[in-house]
Structure formats: structure tokens, C-alpha cells
Amino acid sequence: MLAIIAPGQGSQTPGMLSAWLEDAALKTLAQEFSDAIGLDVVRLGTTADADEIKDTANAQPLIVAAGLLSAYALGERDHISFVAGHSVGEITAAALAGVISSIDAMTLVRMRGVEMAKAAAITPAGMAAVLGGDRQVVLSAIQALGLVAANDNGGGQIVAAGDLNALAQLAPDGARVRSLAVAGAFHTSYMQSAVDPLRTLADSIFTNTPIVGVISNKDGDVIKDGHDVLQRIIAQIANPVRWDLCMQTLLSQGVTGVIEVAPAGTLVGLIKRATPTIEQFALKGPADIASARLFIAQHGGNNVRN
């Protein structure tokens, strides 16, 4: 059984769309995305430097565009049973499941990036990855400093978020702490001001019943109602991401293989550590398409579709 997974912010790299856009049809689609949202994702994905694409308002649309373009290049969506995305990757997943159109996905992520950047500018805050250590010890240390476990990624990785001074004091026994180059404390109450504008936009977006199970970052549940999928995506902006529970759901649902769409690499690494019995494939560029289709042939049977 096969799932498609979509990465979140931080996975972007300079020039990451260049190889994909050598295909004329994909370049046309990328230009349609750019025109629809008033942001040149073609330029951002080809010639923009690392600092420009690190900006939250640019990074989020670029990541969703990359995921959609690579998934369209791959095709084979009739063989997918589940989709899941990490943070902003949930928007990619919703589009791949047919919940929202690709243009609506790009419109939503454009506003998400802008509003989260605005929210981050209100109060200085940040995020840090805590690697290793005992899970309960790490969570207790985060809570004791008034921080939030904003991303519970499984595989011995928890991302803490909140006040910068508190983050500087975070040092759980047996764990390593690495500051993340992000603009604010995503998936915490620091992002609350971004929620209402996104909810207003979401109310204008038509949703469909997903054609496959959509695994939610909120609790790892499989969501089969399109409106619920979209509302969860909006609420998630100011609430923790439970990717650990998403991975457990993939396992419990009998998924045997996952393909991470572009910009791929981060999520397959987490799955390899946390649920190694699930085989992984990172779709990093057009050169991977043929191998990805062979992977699909191995894992695409016994689909559970709505």
C-alpha cells in the first residue's frame, strides 16, 4: 500500500525547480501558479538565492509548488491510498487528494506565508530542534521553560518553539539542541493572528471529498471530509504538528511504501528512523521518475480509497 508525503518549510534549496521546469508543461503550470498568486515562483525556484527563499512568504508557496509539480510529473495517482504533509505540506497533500484545486492550494499557501511572516514580526521568537534524549525528559524540559513542542517529529526529534531567551536555556539531559533559521515560533500561539485571515479565505474555497485518506497533523487521524481537512490545515497554523502520530497511522493502516514529493529528503529520513519497516523513496528530481514508478508498482496495490 502506497502513500504520498509532502515536506514542510526548511526543505527548500536554491534552484530546486530548475530541473523540473525543463519540461514545457510543468513550466507552463508553474507560470500559472505565479500568475494566480502574484508571486514569481518560477524565478524563486530557479535563480533566487538562499536568503530570498528562506523568507517565510516566499518559502511556503515555493515548497507547495515544488510538491505539486513533482507529483504531476510522476502521475500514477490512482495507485495512492493515503496522503500526508508536514506543516505547510498539508496544503500540498490536500491538493493531491483532490480536496482543493492546485490554484486554490497556491492561493491559500501564499496568504499563509504572508500572514505567518506578519505574525512572526510581532514578537521575537524562534525554534530549536532537540535531537535524541529520553522523550519524556525532553518534553518536561521544554514545558519547564514555557516553550512548546511545536513539531513532534518522532525518530528522536522534537522541535521546541517560543521565547528566544528560553530557547537559549534549553539543554535536556542526553540531547543535542540546534537552533533553526526560522523567523518565528511556528505552530504556537505566536501565530494566532494569522489564523483568522486564513479562515476567512478558506471559507471561500470549494472543497471536495478526498479521493484518498488524508492523514492529519493534528492527531494522525485519517480525515475523509474535505471541509474538515481544510479547517484542520487552518487551525494547525497555531497548534503543534504531530508528525510522529502521522507516521504511526501510516504503519497501522498497512502502508508499505511512501514517496516524498519534492523538495524531498527530510520526511523519508524521519520515517527511516521511526518506522523503518515502511520503505521510502525521495522524489528529488525528474531523473527519479522512472525509479519512482517502479517503486509504485511494488507498493501500489490493495488501495483503500474513499
Strand ranges (E), 61-210: 82-85, 126-132, 148-154, 157-162, 175-179
Q: What are phi and psi of 149, to 5 degrees?
A: -80, 85
The residues near 70 (Cβ < 8 Å, ≥ 6 apart) are 20, 261, 262, 264, 283
CA–CA gap between residue 64 and residue 263 (Å, rounded):
9
DSSP state letter for 22: G
C-beta of residue 261 within 8 angstroms of C-beta of residue 16: no
Q: What would the grid cell of residue 200 be?
A: 476567512
* Cα separation of the two ends of the chain: 15
Strand ranges (E), the chain: 2-6, 82-85, 126-132, 148-154, 157-162, 175-179, 213-215, 222-223, 257-260, 279-282
Name the residues annotated as catalytic. 87, 187
Q: What would the grid cell of residue 102 be?
A: 492546485
Q: What would the grid cell of residue 193 be?
A: 493572528
